Amino acid sequence: MKSSYSRINSYGFCPKKYEYRYVLGIPAPVKPELAFGVSIHETLEHNFIQKIDSRKDLPVGDLALFFRTTLDGRLSVVPEEYLRGPSDPHYLRALGEHFLDRFMQDRAPSLQPAVRGVECSFRLPLPNDHELTGQFDLLDTEWVLHDFKTSNKPYDPKRADRMQLVIYSWACERMFGRVPSALCFDVFVKGDGAEGEAGLQAPILFPAPTAADMGTVAQRLAGLLDRLGEAETRHDFPRSFDPPRCHWCEYQPRCQKEWELEGQPRPRKISLGSLQN
């Protein structure tokens, strides 16, 4: 079975979302939060790809223009009712430009991307004839692997996705012949008012995992994919109702209507942890 960690995580988030996206192939309306995060990623990618050869960052003004153009294009397909409050396009443009200004002053000058080290796509073989695909954001010349994130509140290192970190480290070893010296989350904190001030969080560093860690994760991923294959065979895609999660799900309006038409069946809680039991 060929899969990705985001696909596996989608089932853990909610099996019904997994069914909509990966089984039925139903396009989801783009939410402004996703449009914003992807636009930040694409702007940073635009800077670091050219920096491999130029060894210089682009002017902040050029990046701001690239970001606005990218964001406006992605927001053009977002339903109008989503573009309210902290998701207002004017606010998102200003917030993104603030993030880029801080990042280009405080972080970018010290980051020199490795050759082939920007938006690296990988394929990892797993036991039981499974394969995992993915992509990491940046590998610098100090062998630090970076993952750029946007979040409503400061990132808690204690809640870091350890499996994702191991996957990235393993991918780096297979692609470049050595594990990274460290893994780093660069987090753009949106704040959104109630969650505090918007800004760039201090880098969050983790040591590279061991070979034993990689072997353990490979076995766990293969087990998860076995369970996902069984779920698809049984067509087992219950709703995992959780109001905060449902609020962020692109399929929430569709799911709500179908749930009501089905007589409001009781949701069943699913998690990645339960799949590993």
Same domain, 155 and 248: yes
Beta strand 204-207 with 182-189 is antiparallel
Q: Which residue has the higher pLDDT, 14 or 51?
A: 51
pLDDT band (50, 70, 90) for residue 158: confident
Beta strand 204-207 with 2-4 is unpaired
How far is it, in rounded angstroms, from Cα 136 to Cα 122?
8
Look up the pTM and report it: 0.87
Same domain, 12 and 35: no
Same domain, 84 and 142: no
Same domain, 121 and 93: no
Last residue of a domain, one of 49, 84, 110: 110
In sequence order, what DSSP letters do the residues of 48-61 get, joined into one string? Answer: HHHHHHH-SPPPHH
pLDDT tens readout for residues 76-116:
999 888 898 889 999 999 999 999 999 999 999 999 999 99
Q: Which of 158, 160, 55 is nearest to 112 (CA)?
A: 55
How far is it, in rounded angstroms, from Cα 234 to Cα 195?
41
pLDDT of res. 150: 92
pLDDT band (50, 70, 90) for residue 141: very high
How far is it, in rounded angstroms, from Cα 37 to Cα 28?
16
**Containing domain of residue 177, as a range?**
1-25+115-277
Query: Per-residue pLDDT for 64 more than 60?
Result: yes
Sign of CA dihedral 33, 39, 42, 43: negative
- Which domain CATH number covers 175? 3.90.320
Per the structure, the count of domains in the chain is 2
Query: Per-residue pLDDT for 170 more than 80?
Result: yes
How far is it, in rounded angstroms, from Cα 175 to Cα 224?
24
Query: Per-residue pLDDT for 194 more than 60?
Result: no
Same domain, 94 and 171: no
Running DSSP on this structure, what letter comes out for residue 83? -
pLDDT tens readout for residues 243-272:
777 877 889 889 989 988 988 877 776 655
pLDDT of res. 211: 87
Same domain, 124 and 181: yes
